[in-house]
A and B are shown apart, each in its own frame.
Chain A
Amino acid sequence: MNVTTNSNIKCSLALAELQNVMDPEIGLNVVDLGLIYRIYFDEAEHTISVRMTLTTQFCPMGESMTDAATQALQQVFPDDKVQLTLTFDPAWNSEMISEEGKKYLNK
Chain B
Amino acid sequence: MIVANNNSLLTKNTSYKVVLPFYGYAALSFLAATLLLFTSSSAFTQHYFHPQTLAITHLMALGWGTMIILGASHQLVPVLIEGKLFSNVLAHVSFSLAAIGIPLLVYSFYVFNIGELAQCGAILINAAIVSYLINLAISIAKSKNENVHAVFVFTAALWLLLTTLVGLLLTYNFTLTILPKDSLYYLSLHAHMGIIGWFLLLVMGVGSRLIPLFLISKYNNRKLLWWIYSLINGGLLSFIFIFLYSNQTFYFFFPVIAITTALILFGHYCLQAYRQRIRKQVDDQMKISLLSVLMIAVPVIALIGIVALLVVSGQNIKLVLLYGFSVFFGWITAIIFGMTFKTLPFIVWNKVYHHKSGLGKTPNPKDLFSNKLFIGMGIAYLTGFILFAAGILISNTLILKSGTIFLLFTAALYNLNVFKILLHKPQTA
Give per-residue flags for B65-91: 1 if the beta carbon is below 8 A from chain A beta carbons, else 0. 000000000010011001100000000
Q: For B79, what are the chain A residues with a Cβ–Cβ distance below 8 Å?
A: 56, 58-60
A59 to B9, CA, bound (A): 11
Task: Identify B10's interface contact among A62, A71, A94, A97, CB under 8 A.
Answer: A62
Task: Identify B357's interface contact among A68, A84, A87, A97, CB under 8 A.
Answer: A68
- Interface hits, A84-107 → B, CB 8 Å: 84-88, 93-94, 97, 102, 105-107
Q: A64-B354, A70-B5 are in contact. Are A97 and B278 (CB under 8 A)?
A: yes
Q: A24-B346, A57-B82 are in contact. Are A63 and B1 (CB under 8 A)?
A: no
**Once the chains bind, are A24 and B365 in contact (CB under 8 Å)?**
yes
Q: For B7, what are the chain A residues with a Cβ–Cβ distance below 8 Å?
A: 63, 66, 84-86
Give per-residue flags for B252-294: 1 if the beta carbon is below 8 A from chain A beta carbons, else 0. 0000000000000000000000000011110000000000000
Q: How many Å from the CB of A92 to the closest CB on chain B? A: 11
Q: How many Å from the CB of B155 to the closest CB on chain A? A: 21
Give per-residue flags for A74-86: 1 if the beta carbon is below 8 A from chain B beta carbons, else 0. 1000111111111
> A21 within 8 Å of B by Cβ?
yes
- Tally chain A residues at the interface, Cβ within 8 Å: 42
> B4 within 8 Å of A by Cβ?
yes
Number of contact residues on B: which range applies? Answer: 35 or more
> B11 within 8 Å of A by Cβ?
yes
> A65 within 8 Å of B by Cβ?
yes
Q: Which residue of A lies closest to B78 (CB)?
A: A58
Q: For B214, what are the chain A residues with a Cβ–Cβ distance below 8 Å?
A: 25
Give per-residue flags for B352-396: 1 if the beta carbon is below 8 A from chain A beta carbons, else 0. 011001110000111000000000000000000000000000000
Task: Identify A60's interface contact among B217, B279, B346, CB under 8 A.
Answer: B346
Chain A residues within 8 Å of B, Cβ to Cβ: 21, 24-27, 55-72, 74, 78-88, 93-94, 97, 102, 105-107
What are 25 A-B pairs at a CB distance below 8 A? A24-B346, A25-B365, A27-B364, A57-B82, A58-B78, A58-B79, A60-B350, A61-B346, A63-B12, A64-B349, A65-B357, A67-B354, A70-B3, A70-B358, A74-B1, A81-B3, A83-B6, A84-B4, A84-B7, A85-B6, A85-B7, A86-B9, A88-B9, A94-B278, A97-B216
